[in-house]
Amino acid sequence: MHRTNLFKLSLFSALIVLFAAGQALAELPKIADLAEKAGPAVVNIFTETAPKQSQRQPRMQIPRGTPFDDFFEQFDQYFNQHPQQQQKRSRSLGSGFLISADGYIITNNHVVEKADKVNVKLQKGEKVIQARVVGADPETDLALLKIDNGSSLPFLKLGDSAKLRVGDWVVAIGNPFGLAHTVTAGIVSAKGRVIGAGPYDDFIQTDASINPGNSGGPLLNLDGEVVGINAAIIASGQGIGFAIPSNIAKDVVAQLKSKGKVSRGMLGVTIQSVDENTAKALGLSDAKGALVSQVGPGSAAEKAGLASGDVIIAVNGQPVADSHDLTTRIGNMNPGEPVTVTYLRKGKSQTAKVTLMERDAKALGQMGDDPAQAKGGDTLGMTLSATDPRTGKPAGGLLVVDVTQNSAAAEAGLRRGDVIVEINQRPVATPEEAASIIEKEGKARGAVVVLFKRQGQPVFRSIPVQ
């Protein structure tokens, strides 16, 4: 009797396990129907770029019929490229997808930039179609193409990437390593990734397999809607790919289609995020906001009265988390649009009305390089001098003559040749002034903020003070 009960219990347990396994299998996504329906709208992109030819060197003028004539003829043949002896045109492979029945295609900018010719191949049919680049946006790595191949082409719908949740199933379709129409599946691993690809990074991270050649292809939800445009991978990692959210693509594509370019607002400032040490040194309650390290001459920010050292904490009443948050939000606004900027100046909150300027290459060039991306008696491990030892002339601040290895200043990134102009927003002209501020304010707050110039560009660094 006891054995019979044990057998019944074991059988019941096995049935429960089988039922649970069946339920788990039933919950796995069905990819085949989705891939079959979406696949025809995904295209293979081939680009061609002609190599730049060097100028043919003119042949030395030797009278015909002389003993040297044959020699220079052979020299010219073997060492001087003839115009007809051109190298083959280089080709690259990428992916894209149709978004309308009349032939508009989304892909990555890096797939088509610098190409002389862009060719597209549809899933069905061997015909190669030449595409026209309608417009491209390098800052989001998106491009819009157009092919003329009828008005009933298969296409995909752009979905709402904001509705994606970490853990949702997604499907990637593309041409990795030239293997046409490869389908891979995975989940959303993370959202809002900033990987240093551009000023508007907001990537979807996925473990759906993405490889070279997938660039520009769609990342689909289980409803067959495009929620991302596959754009980047980590070469040394597996199962780590990145896609541009569809909600970013919607606005970019609309502008590219209507005017061939993207217009964005710009304050005209160089900014850095506020870390904990910077917050301590400036007496801020939270390590939030964007610290202004430079204001462009004639910029919208300068006209509104913003200055180096201000900490922007809100735009139109909405808090600013960090420098990336500020750049993204201002970039989503239009040139000429008025905005209210709230900022802290020496601890006091102020507001300014700013009419945004247009973000373009000329405006960015005036700002110079972003100092936030800059790399590498005794004061915090520095030897400071009010004069330049090489010339004997005033340094225009305090010249960093030397930095002790592993010191607080070295850890903060200061190096020999930097010129310190302010500490805790106070001008410093002598090493004694610097030491006094560090001794009084630095030790009380636990850190100081140093404004220095490196190759003429202003940079803020926070240094902890023990």
Asked if 181 is an active-site residue, the reply is no
How many C-alpha atoms does 339 have within 13 Å on its Cβ side?
26
Give burial (CB, 10 Å; 0-12/13-18/19+) of 249: buried
DSSP string, 91-160: EEEEEEEE-STT-EEEE-HHHHTT-SEEEEE-SSSS-EEEEEEEEEETTTTEEEEE--S-S------B--
- Which among 92, 95, 137, 141 is annotated as catalytic? 141
The answer to whether 370 is annotated as binding is no
User: Helix, strand or coil for residue 242?
Assistant: strand
- Which among 110, 161, 322, 462 is annotated as catalytic? 110
Q: Bridge-partner residues for 458, per DSSP?
A: 453
Q: Which helix (H) or strand (E) holds 410?
A: helix 408-412
The answer to whether 213 is annotated as binding is yes
How many C-alpha atoms does 180 have within 13 Å on its Cβ side?
15
**C-alpha distances in Å from residue 296, one per residue of 83, 274, 310:** 48, 20, 14
Asked if 215 is an active-site residue, the reply is yes
Q: What is the DSSP letter of 461?
A: E
User: Helix, strand or coil for residue 13?
Assistant: helix
Asked if 275 is an active-site residue, the reply is no
The answer to whether 214 is annotated as binding is yes
The answer to whether 48 is annotated as binding is yes
- Which among 92, 189, 209, 215 is annotated as catalytic? 215
User: Helix, strand or coil for residue 197?
Assistant: coil
Residues annotated within the binding site are: 48, 110, 141, 213-215
> Among all residues, which ones are annotated catalytic?
110, 141, 215
Residue list for the binding site for substrate: 48, 110, 141, 213-215
